[in-house]
Chains A and B, each alone.
Chain A
Amino acid sequence: MPEQLRNENLEAEGTPEEQAQKIIEDVLGTAEIQEAVDSIASPEAVQKSRNFISEKAKNFLSVKENWNDTKKYSGVAAGGLLGGVLIVAKIAKGIFDFAKRTIKKKGNITFKEGYEIGKSILDPNAKKDKK
């Protein structure tokens, strides 16, 4: 029973969220290693400014009270940093949703394609009927 087998496989691989997280970790991890290697050769000013901005973004994202603390973050917001964090967060969510959607879609397509292929092998007229 292909449907049952497919469901069992999906369960073994985790939920679409867990699978999306796993695949993103694979891809992002590689990019981060490459970036870390490149950073070794970066000027000190670039590294320090990156750490400064990154720390600001981390503080902003991690503490809910910060989202409304316009006084504390006014300077950063004026520089476009906070707007930048929000843009990146929206894109990051988009990547996560894309991975999840692709996993779900691919699962369905695999099953459907497998079914179509199997059908066409067993029945040579199947493709012609479709046309």
Chain B
Amino acid sequence: MSSNDFLEELSPYQKELSLRIFNLSISKVLKNAYASFDEKTKEEMTIIFNSDNDDNKENFIKKSIPNFKEILEKETKMIENNIKSEIEKKI
């Protein structure tokens, strides 16, 4: 199944759910990344994300969090496990 087919099959609620879980994961990824940056990189990040240049923002993430996708997946899986165990407790 292609990515488009997969996205096509998601219900509006599942898309909303994806985005909410994505937001939780991304917060963790960015907090951890920021904590690991040196002072110079932290300053650079502040300047870039206070500007209107989207290309610079994308390039900063690409450069400063090179394994972004893998870290995001790891964080999301941790959230997934927590949600699943809470669901099991509740049902």
Contacts and interface: CB of A to CB of B under 8 A. Distances in A.
B88 A46 contact: no
Interface SS of A by simple majority:
helix
B19 A57 contact: yes
A56 B56 CA distance: 14
Nearest to A66: B7
Contact of B14 (A57, A87, A92): A92
Nearest to B58: A75
Contacts of B57: 49, 52
Interface stretch (A1-9, A98-106, A114-122, A123-131): A98-106
Given A46-B30, A85-B22, A99-B87, A92 B49 contact: no
Contact of A67 (B4, B23, B24, B46): B4
Interface in B10-32: 10, 13-15, 17-27, 30-31
Give the interface centre of A28, A48, A64, A80 by most chain B CB atoms within 10 Å: A80
Interface of B: 3-4, 6-8, 10, 13-15, 17-27, 30-31, 34, 42, 45-46, 49-50, 54-55, 57-62, 67-69, 72-73, 76-77, 79-80, 82-84, 86-88, 90-91
Q: 9 closest Cβ contacts across the A-B interface?
A: A80-B69, A48-B49, A89-B18, A79-B62, A92-B18, A75-B58, A84-B72, A27-B86, A80-B68
Interface of A: 21, 23-24, 26-28, 31-32, 35, 38-39, 42-46, 48-50, 52-54, 57-58, 61-62, 64, 67-68, 75-76, 78-81, 83-96, 98-99, 102-103, 106
